[in-house]
Structure 1
Amino acid sequence: MSSAAARLGTRRSTMATTQSRAVADSITARTGVPIELVLITSFGDVTRAHLTQLGGTGVFVNALRDELTAGRIEFAVHSLKDLPTAPAEGLALAAVPERDDPRDALCARDGLKFADLPEGARIGTGSPRRVAQLAALRPDLHFVPIRGNAETRLGKVAAGELDAVVLAYAGLSRIGRLDDVTDVFEPDQVLPAPGQGALAVECRAADADGALRYLAAVDHPRTRVAVTAERTVLSKLEAGCAAPVGAHAECRDGRLRLRAAVVATDGSTAVRGERAVDLPDSTAAAVEAAGGLGRELAREMIARGADRIVAAAAEV
């Protein structure tokens, strides 16, 4: 690739490089700017600890942010659900590309649906959010914490170590493993993680409106509006990406509908809420309205005890 190519930082996993390459190709197709992928190893990729032990927030993005700050890459692509909600000094969210399917998917042995899993079936997931909501639906199942990339997790089902795993549908789609999906959870059953299915393009703030203005070519306003509402709920609940918080927002016919849930990790207690707002025509104003909607819903859920569920989950 040309030495003039912009350097895009990405984690090394198949999923990360696949989604980063898709963003790079989209930027090049729309702007003509050539992109070079720079592979970076994050602490979250090499540690054997479970996400809940690490606190979750930032474990997959800090290494990329360090490379950005040091000037060794021009921009980075993250899975938006892994990105901390607090702003990072000196960095900017330059673009949020159009979102893929945000739902969770079940990959089970013998083609089993969720309802058909036998009592006591072993379900692998590293997400307290998934455990909490699935346990509320099927308290008879046994949830097993697991780490590793999607291929590793799917391999545990193929090897008979687990009866099923639950993964993001979008991620499975990106790596060509949709044939492994045996069931898909609608948001009415299991609310996805805030930002799930979406990507984040991050760069140095000083470059966002200058040298890297071309990144805006892959920004998708409706996706940015929706994930702003979801991530605001997460932020106001003071919960990280490993917390048992689900949120899903949809823009339809000029109106934004936001649903959220905080569920105890054993599925026994839940606080759920929903709000909607008409969106202004301006993208900037719509993003502001989405943030306001997220704050209102979070306040309502906190008044009903959602913050106590988050705090209790953090102590587990």
Structure 2
Amino acid sequence: MDIFLQQFQDIKWEQIVFTCTRILVVLFLAWLGMVILRKILRKLEQRLLTQSKTAGEPPSESEKRVETLIRLIRQAALIVLWVTTILILLKEIGVDVGPILASAGIVGLAVGFGAQNLVRDFIAGFFFILENQVRVGDVAIVNGTGGLVERVNFRTIVLRDLGGIVHIFPNGTVSTLSNLTNDWSAYVFDIGVAYKENTDKVIDVMSSVGSEMKQDEILGPFMLEEPEIFGVDKFDNSAVVIKGRIKTKPIRQWQVGREYLRRIKLAFDNAGIEIPFPHQTLYFGEASKPIEVALLEKLKGEKVVT
């Protein structure tokens, strides 16, 4: 009994109270840090949503992108906060955290070497989403392969091409990324007409077709402006090529462009404008007769024999 009393009297109550107070202060600061972090992330989320709305991004896509970003930042910040808090608490109760930090550093180094490609993919994916370089529903060309973007993850980008084939690209391996439907799209066309045609008249017909399409109830809302006719672009083998462009809402360029070409063909037919096609001439040399003459002589010879 005396031994227990002696041990009880040897306890340094002041140090215990001081240590408990420090632990409570650390826990309070950790809780306060979580509250501040939530407020900062909430304001950041509202700001990103406002910027996306101003840029004209669809609300569903912007909410999904911002939610993914905020969740990733929250998880990373909470992990750092609680790991730091636990290490401080261990130190307060007398645990030497030096060996723990050294062991964690060695393990982290080993994992970093083994999973460096995975970490690279995650970092690249984070910036893809943060900078809004590509979204679900965009048409993009990734490393030379084009298709519709079906998923944008922190590790991969998933495309489906026109043939239905799914292409998966790790974000860290993406060297070239071309987004065909970011903010607005364009249909670039090259229309060839015969050399005998008046190019000014041709351009007037093309402009009138574009103006009619802009007033169309169905296709007009998809067009941001009337088609731009750049003019004569080059002299081809059998045609004078006129280049132009139609600016449309994202992913609507092919629908508008196909209809424009259909109407151009009808307008050219009505105006008598010739759309040339490749011609070939057969030549048998100076000693040979033209093929039409040779055929006629052959037919005449057969009639005489009969």
Q: TM-score, normalised by structure 1?
A: 0.22
Larger Rg: 2
Q: TM-score, normalised by structure 2?
A: 0.23
